Amino acid sequence: MLRQEAEAFFGALRFFTRLPVPAWVGHSQESLDRAARYFPLVGVLVGVLGGLTFLLVAFVLPVSLALLFSMAATLLVTGAFHEDGLADAVDGFGGGWTKPQVLAIMKDSRIGSYGALAVALMLMAKFNALYELPDDWIAPALVAGHAASRFFSTLLIFSLDYVRDDDSARAKPLAVRMGAGSLAVAGLFGLAPLALLPWEAALASLGLAALTTFLAARYFVKRIGGYTGDCLGAAQQLSELAIYLGILAVAWNFS
C-alpha cells in the first residue's frame, strides 16, 4: 500500500515537474491514474522551492529581483507546464468557434498571439500582486498559492468530464474521474499551506480562488462540454493569481 502511494506521488512529481525521481519508480498506468491526488503536494514542493529562492536571494538583492528569481525557479522546475496549458487554452478558446476547432487549436504545439499575451499578462500580474505584499508574506504566499491552486485544478477532474478521446493526449493520466477519497487527499495537501497566512488572507484567497474556478468550469462546460489538460493548466494559473489577489486585498486594506 505504501509503495503504491509512493509510486503515485513520484509519478505525479515526474509528470508535473522536471525533478528526478527514484529509479525504482515504475511507469504503470495504475499509479498514473492515482497521481492526480498528489498534484497539490507537488505544488507544495514547487512553492517551497520558490519561497526558499526568494528568501535566499533577498539577502543580497532587492525584493523585486528576488521575486523574479523565485518565479524563474518555479518555471524552471515545472518546465512552464501550466503556463503552456494556459497559452494553449487561450489560443483554443480565442481562435476556435466550435468544439472540434477549439480542441484542434489546443493540441497545436505552436503558441499563438492570444496565448503569448495571456502568459505575459499572467506573469506580470502574479509578479505585481506578490511584489505589493509585505516582504514577510511573500514566501508563505508562494507556498499557499502553488499548493491551493493545484487543488482547485483537481476539482475539475472530480466534477467535469474529460473531453478528449485520443490516446495520444499528454494529459491522459488526468482523464480518470477522481473519487471523493482522492479529492480529500488533494484537499489536505492543497489547503493546509493556507495556514501559513493570516486567517483573513487565507479566507479571502480561498473564496476568490473558488469563485474563479467555478466561473472557469462553467465556461469550459459551455464551450467544450468538460475539460482538457490545457484547461487544467489554465485553471491552475487563474486560481493561483486569484489566491495572490485575495491575499493582497487583505494586506492592502487591513494591514
Q: What are phi and psi of 163, to 5 degrees?
A: -100, -10
Angle between helix 135-159 and helix 180-191 axes, rounded to 10 deg: 170
Maximum Cα interatomic distance, the chain, rounded to a whole number of Å: 52
Q: Which amino acid is at 157?
A: I
For the segment 144-175, what is each residue's pLDDT rounded down to a tens digit?
999 999 999 999 999 999 998 765 455 555 66
- For residue 227, the SS3 value is strand
CB burial string 29-45: b at 16+ within 10 A, e below: eebbbbbbbbbbbbbbb
- Read off the pTM: 0.93
Give the pLDDT of residue 252: 86
Percent of residues, the chain, with pLDDT higher than 90: 73
Quote the CA–CA distance of 98 and 167 in Å, as a whole number. Answer: 22
Tell me: pLDDT of 64 over 90: yes
Considering only CA atoms, give the Rg of the chain.
18
Q: Which residue has the cell 503515485?
A: 8
Question: What is the domain partition of the chain in residue ranges?
Answer: 47-254
- For residue 143, the SS3 value is helix
What single DSSP character describes residue 97?
S
Give the pLDDT of residue 169: 53
List, in order, residues 6 or more apart from 252 with CB less than 8 Å away.
132
Quote the CA–CA distance of 214 and 163 in Å, as a whole number. Answer: 18
Percent of residues, the chain, with pLDDT higher than 70: 91
The sign of the CA dihedral 161, 16, 122, 252 is positive
Give the pLDDT of residue 41: 96
Q: Which residue has the cell 522536471?
A: 18
Distance of CA 111 to the CA centre of its chain: 19
